[in-house]
Amino acid sequence: MQTRWRSFYQQASGLPSETKITLEQLNSYPAPLLLSNNQYPNFENYTWDDIQTLWQLHRSCKLPTKFTDLESKKRTKLARAIEFEKAICSNKTLDDGWYNQGEMLHPAGGSYSDRFLASLDSSQQTSFIANHNRELTLSNPHHPLHKLFDTISAKGSDVLLSGYRAYLAKDDKLWLNDEFGLVGIKGQVWRQLLAPLKINIELKNSAEQICGVSYSNLCIQPLLPRKNNFKWLISILALLATSFLFIGLVSHRNEAKERRFILQLLTHELRTPITSLGFTVEQFRRHFDQFDENAQRSFGRLLADHQRLSQLTETSKGFLSVDPHTQFQKQTAYLSDWLDHCLDKYSLDYRLDNDQELTLPYYWLGICLDNLLRNAQNHGKGEVSIFVTTNKLLRIEVIDQGCFPNRYHLLMTRFKPRTNHENMGMGLTIVTRLMKKMGGRFVYYHNPTRCILELPL
């Protein structure tokens, strides 16, 4: 890893740079003024009392009595700062040579030139900067190198100026410190060197981060081979799942087409024997008066069954059509006539609030009502009542005094041996699906049982 890192550094030094700060530029300015710690009070050479004294002098332009004696060596150091603060207070201009003939940094932080420049108005600053830009700190915007270092953090500047050979900025620009100065290289340029050397370089975020080689703020690791097996596995599984889903959809569609074809075939084939049966019924009709009473009743049942089969085949032909408008063919009739026809075989009466002529899918609506009436008579208790209302929607309510089974009971009966009461669940399933397809709904309530058909008018 060390060898790879040295090879990378040598190759990166020859790459084209976006920013360059020459060694000649760096040597033109005092090194202490380029480091970021010059902005803080110098507690290595001065005490807190010294800093507080200068702050009081800066604020009130009066020096405390206990600090008037400057005979000691320490006080002699402080004498330069006191002289500077007094000059500021009295608006006195110090000689140009004063700033570079002694300590350049103020004990409280920053340079003397920084502080004096801040005390001047804009008209006086230009002349002072021209003569004293060398004594400004790097953090001062008027320092000649400030803009060049602006893309590096203060920590990065300190690292490079302290002798480190490399620093990685947050914008992925790699800064190198070579024999010619500092250079900044874009990430898309220097990262091209990593793959051939089989290394990876990233920011080191914490001291606990494990790296093959740690240098400056760089974490250098060997470039591990990419493990695409897991990605390939995910891709294959996704492809298989998509294939199974597609096959399932195609199979379901084909099965639906096959079922529809079989139903259409049965409906078509039933028409021939039903037509033949119709001719037979007509022949018997001619001799109806010659039959005895039992034969006439049997002929009546035969005639009714023939009519029902004929109506079933004609209606199913429309229901099996792909056109949704022909699936539920509608007829026009008075509501009372249709109810009389449906309830005649049950010997039940009904209450209708407003009889009117309506155009409805009477055949399929009759199947739904017939299921509810058979359930009420076979599984209900007490008297069966039918209430019909027409107010924006047709509402047919069948009521008995029994207790309607809940959904859990209907579900569990599917897993038990078949008994007569299971027909209730199947019949209601038919009613629910037919009402939904017709644009209406089926509603039921428990104890006592109330089954309601609702269809918009």
**pLDDT tens sequence across 183-222:** 999 999 999 999 899 899 999 888 888 888 899 999 999 8
**What region, left, alpha or beta, does residue 406 occupy, with left being phi > 0 and alpha being psi -120 to 50 degrees?**
beta
Kindly give the pairing relationship between strand 385-390 and strand 351-352: parallel
Handedness of CA 56, 62, 65, 68 (dihedral sign): positive
Helices and strands (H, E) in the chain, number of each type: 17, 14
Contacts of residue 237, Cβ cutoff 8 Å, sequence gap at least 6: none
- For the cut 80, the answer to whether the pLDDT of residue 304 exceeds it is no
| 41-45, 157-161, 226-230: segment of lowest average pLDDT | 226-230
Question: What end-to-end distance do the CA atoms of the chain give, in Å?
Answer: 83
Contacts of residue 83, Cβ cutoff 8 Å, sequence gap at least 6: none
- For the cut 90, the answer to whether the pLDDT of residue 453 exceeds it is yes
- For the cut 80, the answer to whether the pLDDT of residue 306 exceeds it is no
pLDDT for residue 318: 58
Question: Counting Cβ atoms within 10 Å, is residue 81 exposed (0-12), middle (13-18) or buried (19+)?
Answer: buried
pLDDT for residue 314: 64
Give the mean pLDDT of 359-388.
Answer: 87
pLDDT for residue 414: 42
What is the distance between the alpha carbons of residues 271 and 149, in angstroms, rounded to a whole number? 95
- For the cut 80, the answer to whether the pLDDT of residue 386 exceeds it is yes
Tens of pLDDT, residue by residue over 281-297, are: 777 777 777 778 888 77
Q: Which tokens is 209 given?
A: 């981060």
Whole-structure pTM value: 0.47
The residues spanned by each domain of the chain are 1-20+151-225, 30-144, 229-319, 328-456
- For the cut 90, the answer to whether the pLDDT of residue 387 exceeds it is yes
Amino acid letter, residue 370: D
pLDDT for residue 227: 57
Cβ–Cβ < 8 Å for 379, 424: yes
pLDDT for residue 271: 64
- For the cut 70, the answer to whether the pLDDT of residue 410 exceeds it is no
User: What distance separates the 2 farthest-apart alpha carbons in the chain?
Assistant: 155
Q: Would you state the torsion angle of the CA atoms of residues 375, 379, 381, 384, taken in this order, to the nearest 10 degrees?
A: 10
Cβ–Cβ < 8 Å for 351, 386: yes
Task: For domain 328-456, give the fold.
Answer: Heat Shock Protein 90 (3.30.565)
Tens of pLDDT, residue by residue over 72-86, are: 445 567 888 998 999
Burial string for 260-276 (b: 16+ CB within 10 Å, else e) reads eeeeeeebeeeeeeeee
What distances in angstroms separate CA 163 from CA 31, 105, 156, 167, one per listed residue? 12, 22, 11, 11
What is the distance between the alpha carbons of residues 4 and 11, in angstroms, rounded to a whole number? 11
pLDDT for residue 138: 92
Tens of pLDDT, residue by residue over 39-64, are: 999 998 888 888 888 898 888 888 77
What is the distance between the alpha carbons of residues 440 and 457, in angstroms, rounded to a whole number? 10
Running DSSP on this structure, what letter comes out for residue 225?
A: P
Give the mean pLDDT of 354-381.
Answer: 86
pLDDT for residue 112: 92
pLDDT for residue 282: 77
